[in-house]
Chain A
Amino acid sequence: MIAIIDYGIGNLRSVHNAVRFISPQTKSIVTSDPDAVAKADKVIFPGQGAMPDCISQLEKRGLKESVIEAAKQKPFLGICLGLQMLFETSEEGDASGFGLLPGTVKRFQLNKNERIKIPHMGWNKVHLSNPHPMWNKIDSESRFYFVHSFYAEVKNQSLVMATSSHGEKFTCAIAKDNIFAVQFHPEKSSELGLQLLKNFISWNI
């Protein structure tokens, strides 16, 4: 069973719709119940909005511990804010994340060399930096859909699975043991996004 974490913010329907579309036989639920998260075989942690809100909503629902526990043991897919939450701190409201991975979350900066818009919104190229079962049938330089103003600055480069570029190069996928997380939205990235979710369903650690 796949548990999709619901902390009351954002459009979780689309992640659930996508999982059901590619694999109707896989049991999946959208839940804010810590016990359901504890019982799940795999966990998807999608995110939207701001890190401080996410933390307070998780705490309000008594979910924070169970999500951290899941991220320590089970196949765990973080999406967007769900990637950023894995790190230590964020410039966004000076919030703290789960602190499972070393690094900080920063905001894109306007720069003189290249005109960029913030939020970084749209389809950007993803450069695969390391092989991973989650990249099955996905080529380097494929485009995925992004929408975010913050990104993770990762200390340990061996965790970096892919990068993209928006005024500057930034990490857009990371992996460590049972964790895989992407800054883009696979549930909104058409065929290739669905392929990534399929890879998660069949990923055995």
Chain B
Amino acid sequence: MSVAKRIIPCLDVNDGRVVKGVNFVELKDAGNPVEIAKKYDEEGADELTFLDITASSDNRGLLFDIVEKVAKQIFIPLTVGGGVRTCEDIRNLLNSGADKVGINTSAILNPELVAESTSRFGSQAIVVAIDAKKVGDHWEVFTHGGRNATGINAVSWAQKMAKLGAGELLITSMDRDGTKKGFDNVLMKLISDVVEVPIIASGGVGILQHLVDGVKYGEADAVLAASIFHYGEFTIQEAKQYMAKNNIEVRL
């Protein structure tokens, strides 16, 4: 008996709509966020993640509206990320009904934000998202949807973020994202081995076996996927049944 491995559908939000792209480009519309969230909850999703990829700051307000509506009807943990820059942004998202807020680029520009926000809102409220790409024999942190290299080693960055108080790490392989080739489990395991906090594997899920592999080989505590669920290739329930059949403890 132990804590179940979590399945987390991720909803990319652009101007108030859920979208899914390949390698962070070519966005396709995937539907109304509240309806999708409700469907996932009914299917047994363990958490939901909303990632705001809205480019224009004018349309950022649409996200609060979505979070607020979802939080009134769906009673599982909600993580919201994308464009979070300040403690004020975090507070506003938590007040809208988010349980956890994801920080990505801002953690790189200002690592103090992680320390400050975790001491103010608690570690449980802060998820640091790390977008990593393989460069030679190691992994580097990238920003701006994988376009900008930072030169920072992804594994030592993960350790630093956990040390500053992040309650959880969301690791996305930019090499795998949108490819349907499975998680980069070598990267996942490297990070999972050196941090005390849970890690969420992301980027590359195409078949249900990939979710199993993320837990078995990547040693992830949670697995995140978007397109396989949005486009109805698999339901969350099917994913859970498959994981259970492969001896992974899940909430059925």
Once the chains are docked, how many angstroms separate the CA of A20 from the CA of B99? 18
A124 close to chain B: CB less than 8 A: yes
* Closest CB in chain B relative to A137 CB, distance in Å: 16
Contact segment of A82-90, A96-104, A143-151, A173-181: A143-151
Once the chains are docked, how many angstroms separate the CA of A117 from the CA of B222? 12
Once the chains are docked, how many angstroms separate the CA of A14 from the CA of B94? 10
Pick the residue among A11, A13, A187 that contacts B125 (CB under 8 A).
Answer: A11
Once the chains are docked, how many angstroms separate the CA of A9 from the CA of B46? 24
Once the chains are docked, how many angstroms separate the CA of A147 from the CA of B99? 11
Pick the residue among A117, A164, A166 that contacts B197 (CB under 8 A).
Answer: A117
Q: List 28 A-B contacts (CB under 8 A).
A: A10-B94, A10-B121, A10-B122, A13-B95, A13-B96, A14-B71, A14-B99, A49-B121, A49-B124, A110-B196, A117-B196, A118-B196, A119-B198, A121-B167, A121-B168, A122-B46, A122-B198, A122-B221, A122-B222, A123-B46, A124-B4, A145-B46, A145-B77, A146-B3, A149-B123, A188-B75, A190-B75, A190-B76
A31 close to chain B: CB less than 8 A: no
Pick the residue among B4, B5, B71, B121 that contacts A17 (CB under 8 A).
Answer: B71
Annotate A104-130 by CB proximity to B: 1 below 8 A, 0 otherwise: 000000100010111111111101000
Residues from chain B with a CB closer than 8 A to the CB of A11 are 94-95, 97-99, 125
Contact: A124 with B3, CB < 8 Å?
A: yes
Annotate B58-96 by CB proximity to A: 1 below 8 A, 0 otherwise: 000000000000011101110000000000000000111
Check A122/B75 contact, CB under 8 A, given A11-B94, A48-B125, A165-B1.
Answer: no
Contact: B124 with A121, CB < 8 Å?
A: yes
Residues from chain A with a CB closer than 8 A to the CB of B198 are 117, 119, 121-122
A189 close to chain B: CB less than 8 A: yes
B213 close to chain A: CB less than 8 A: no
Contact: B75 with A14, CB < 8 Å?
A: yes
For B, the interface residue count at a CB cutoff of 8 angstroms equals: 33
Contact: B2 with A165, CB < 8 Å?
A: yes
Residues from chain B with a CB closer than 8 A to the CB of A125 are 1
Q: Which 7 A-B pairs have the closest CB atoms?
A: A49-B122, A123-B251, A122-B3, A117-B198, A124-B3, A143-B251, A147-B124
* Closest CB in chain B relative to A171 CB, distance in Å: 15
Once the chains are docked, how many angstroms separate the CA of A112 from the CA of B177? 34
For A, the interface residue count at a CB cutoff of 8 angstroms equals: 40
Given contacts A122-B6, A122-B198, 12 further A-B contacts (CB under 8 A): A11-B98, A14-B99, A17-B97, A20-B72, A118-B196, A119-B167, A120-B3, A121-B3, A121-B167, A125-B1, A146-B3, A188-B77
Contact: A193 with B4, CB < 8 Å?
A: no
A36 close to chain B: CB less than 8 A: no
CB contacts under 8 Å to A, within B1-26, are: 1-6
A201 close to chain B: CB less than 8 A: no
Annotate A58-84 by CB proximity to B: 1 below 8 A, 0 otherwise: 000000000000000000000000000
Once the chains are docked, how many angstroms separate the CA of A50 from the CA of B94? 17
CB contacts under 8 Å to B, within A144-200, are: 145-149, 164-166, 187-190, 193-194
* Closest CB in chain B relative to A158 CB, distance in Å: 23
Once the chains are docked, how many angstroms separate the CA of A190 from the CA of B43? 11
Once the chains are docked, how many angstroms separate the CA of A203 from the CA of B168? 36
Check A118/B197 contact, CB under 8 A, given A11-B97, A188-B99.
Answer: yes
Once the chains are docked, how many angstroms separate the CA of A65 from the CA of B95? 26
B41 close to chain A: CB less than 8 A: yes
Residues from chain B with a CB closer than 8 A to the CB of A143 are 4, 251
Residues from chain A with a CB closer than 8 A to the CB of B124 are 48-49, 119, 121, 147-148
Determine the residue in chain A with the shortest Cβ distance to B97: A13
Pick the residue among B3, B122, B221, B251 that contacts A48 (CB under 8 A).
Answer: B122
Residues from chain B with a CB closer than 8 A to the CB of A50 are 122
Once the chains are docked, how many angstroms separate the CA of A121 from the CA of B122? 13
* Closest CB in chain B relative to A64 CB, distance in Å: 20
Annotate B40-52 by CB proximity to A: 1 below 8 A, 0 otherwise: 0100001000000
Residues from chain B with a CB closer than 8 A to the CB of A194 are 75
Contact: B72 with A17, CB < 8 Å?
A: yes
